[in-house]
Amino acid sequence: MNEQKTRPLKNVDDSETTMTELVLPNDTNQLGNLLGGRLMHWLDICAATAAARHSNHVCVTASVDKIDFHNPVRLGEVVILKASVNRVFNSSMEVGVKVFAENTKSGKITHTNSAYLTFVSVDDTGKPCLSPLVNPTTPEQKRRYEDALIRRNKRLQQDKIGK
């Protein structure tokens, strides 16, 4: 059965989500850097929003595959989170989030973090449901689409080893 004939396609751009946060004193550790836990909270919200926009259902976090911390985010900087659905499987989908810190005094923007999260689309009864497939249109979206399958296969293989 051809999945693309039975399930609708949605472009990546249709569900892309950008979120902006200001790093305040309550968001930082003793060094004046953004707390990792606060960033993870923002990542989850931004990614869940992209997933829900794509699926038109509530989406719940199934796993956080990886969060890379490249550079610290300092007190007073603006955090910009950009999320997009990389690939849809059945009820699950991988969402990638890139995080940038903007120093408003200098205007410098630094890539600080990258993360991959898996969400499950659920219906009104809380049961997993199918989501539209992703239609990647740009070379970058196509690369992320292919890479998402590689990451999923690694996760599934690790799950088999762990059992």
Domains of the chain: residue spans and CATH: 3-162 (3.10.129.10)
**What are the average pLDDT values for consecutive 10-residue runs of the chain, which has 163 residues?**
68 97 98 96 98 97 90 97 96 96 97 96 96 96 96 86 71
What is the tens place of the pLDDT at every residue in 67-82? 889 999 999 999 999 9
**Residue the block writes with tokens 């950008």:** 18
pLDDT at 158: 82
pLDDT at 163: 62
**Residue the block writes with tokens 């892309």:** 16
**Residue the block writes with tokens 């659920």:** 122
CA angle 89/19/61 to nearest 5° reads 35
pLDDT at 1: 39
Q: What is the DSSP string of 112-154?
A: EEEEEEEEEEE-TTS-B---PEEE--SHHHHHHHHHHHHHHHH
Classified as helix, coil or strand, 101 is strand
pLDDT at 146: 97
